[in-house]
Chain A
Amino acid sequence: MTPHGQMLLEVRDLVVSYPARGSAGKPLAAVRSVSLNIENGSIFGLVGESGSGKSSLAHAIIQLTPYRSGQVLFRGQDLASLKKPQLGAARRQMQFVFQDSLAALSPRRSIEQTLLEPLNHFRVGAPASRAKKAAAALETVELDADMLHRYPQELSGGQRQRVALARALVTEPELIIADEPLSSLDAPVQARIVDLMLKLRAELGIAFLFVSHDLSTVRRLADKVGVMYLGKIVESGKTESLFQQPAHPYTKSLLAAVPVADPAHPAPSVLTGEPPSPLTPPAGCVFHMRCPEKMERCPSIEPIEVAVGKQYGAPENERELKTAGHRVRCHLWDDTK
């Protein structure tokens, strides 16, 4: 276990549910008991299909969506227990970048006004020094200073997403939560934003929670990855451990579905069916209805989270190193057979 001092964000057994119509008053459980940790200056990639609960989780962490139970600890402080002014102070330390930069930036504010807004709101530094800070943030995201007097709709999608990042940066946060920040951008533009995020982490020590359905980007960017399916994290671990030795059949299916830019590579395999509705989550394992390796007890008994690694052939100490922290919710890895 990492000592408390190093842990930036701890999410414990978080449950997010929404009231739903037409289901006899039964709420829709979007996030079902999720726990995750983000260390200082590290990048956590949260992957999953649409509807898996990634965005609900991200919003709940930053207290935009109320959660039913569980805890979100930022620097050891329970965010739900904080009063308004303290919550404000914590929020200054964790900023959010949204998927659609055009909707997230006000069309009536120039880029400079947009960047000044959080500085004024949090009263960062002397008012006279704020314009300088705004300009510096723009420079950090590698945009020219003449952008300050332009408006979001005059910029390209990539430039806008850089502005959104700059706005998150001005308050000098320790954590940026980015919800699908690249999905509306072209591949080369995406690659440059990924480089930029890596630079921000290296130079400013900013940690990221990076929510995405794009596995190859997550692999490039993240130190640790969590794979979400139907409101649960079914597998998590260090990025290389998870990508090289995917343990959960769902993770394997996800990886096998990605087309590879090589004509000689075997064709992507097709996972049949659709994820079940979160209104009526299946009993047992969440994935059993589509699982190619389904066993007898999967539809009835819910698997607990277990460590991956016992089944590897490598010597004990080496194995520990490689797969440390690699965990999976699947009966295939459960020893209590």
Chain B
Amino acid sequence: MNKPVLSVRQLSVTHRLSGRVVNVLDQVSFDLHQGEILALVGQSGSGKTKTAESILGLLPPDRWDISAQAIELNGSDLAALPESGLRKIRGRSISMIFQEPLTALDPVFTVGNQLCSVFTRHRGQRRREAQTSAQAALGRVGFPDPGHVMRRYPHQLSGGMRQRVMIAMAMACRPSILIADEPTTALDVTTQAQVLDQLVQLGQKDGVSLLLITHDLGIVAQYCDRALVMLDGKIVEQASVEELFANPRHVYTKALLNSAAGAKPK
């Protein structure tokens, strides 16, 4: 297999709150390869989102202790970077999209305005140039009329359209990694299929590596290459998707697969 784009080793995170210390992540290690779709599966509270947030340095250091042997992105260690260095990485090398796009978009600015600011801030483009780039970005995620979407405010778009705007925004700087945290949980099945299709195409066309956080084993089975199974802040199993479904090793994975089989059409 090719060299990993992202390599996480022994990532542990503890949370301090009014004198109590909680272990949130316990020695999490995994690799993400180029163009791969890696699923991070587990129940809410298992530490999936915290894994993503600690990689991106999004957890405030006054309450969270993060220790890791290494978090390497294309060979350079993120854990050793100061906040200013991390800000450059965020958005440019690693982007993230969230479950609820309405809270991730600013309600008082148009879509075009928000998308353009990504190009002016991260790519140093001028206003006019950013406009063109933004239109092209919206075209790539399947909007037939990008100019129209540019003039809309987030609340004027449907959930699926908003999530595609988020993808366009996340991909604006051509990052090598996209982290998607339950990107389709709030969407209908038909819209979910559209959005997941977009994400898969990113990997195939642009070689983007995708870390897909989900609790839906159907999505894991049909869209992902490999999977990490998380339980109580630990990765309890990792395997290729075929292997995981054919031959689950950990008790928890077996229980997960069984509950999914129960929900499956008879």
Chain A contacts to B: CB under 8 angstroms: 49-51, 186-188, 191, 213, 215-217, 219-220, 243, 253-254, 257-263, 265, 267-272, 274
Contact = CB atoms under 8 A, between A and B. Distances in A.
A219 B161 CA distance: 28
B241 A274 contact: no
Contacts of A253: 190
A269 B192 CA distance: 11
A261 B264 contact: yes
Contacts of B241: 263
Given A188-B259, A215-B189, A257-B190, A270 B197 contact: yes
Contacts of A50: 158-159, 188
Interface string B42-62: 011000000000000000000
A334 B135 CA distance: 44
B154 to A, nearest CB: 16
Nearest to B246: A263
Interface residues of B, number: 35
A259 B259 contact: no
Contacts, number: 90
Given A257-B189, A258-B189, A216 B263 contact: yes
A217 B259 CA distance: 12
Given A50-B188, A215-B189, A259 B158 contact: no
Contacts of B190: 49, 253-254, 257, 270-271
Chain A contact surface mostly: loop
A245 to B, nearest CB: 13
Contacts of B217: 261
Indicate the member of B189, B191, B216 with the most A CB atoms within 10 Å. B189
Given A187-B216, A259-B222, A261-B221, A254 B259 contact: no
B263 A191 contact: yes
Contacts of B257: 261
B215 A263 contact: no
Nearest to B189: A257
A274 B218 CA distance: 23
A265 B194 CA distance: 18
B201 to A, nearest CB: 11
Given A265-B221, A268-B193, A186 B44 contact: yes
A10 to B, nearest CB: 28
Given A187-B259, A188-B43, A191-B263, A260 B222 contact: yes
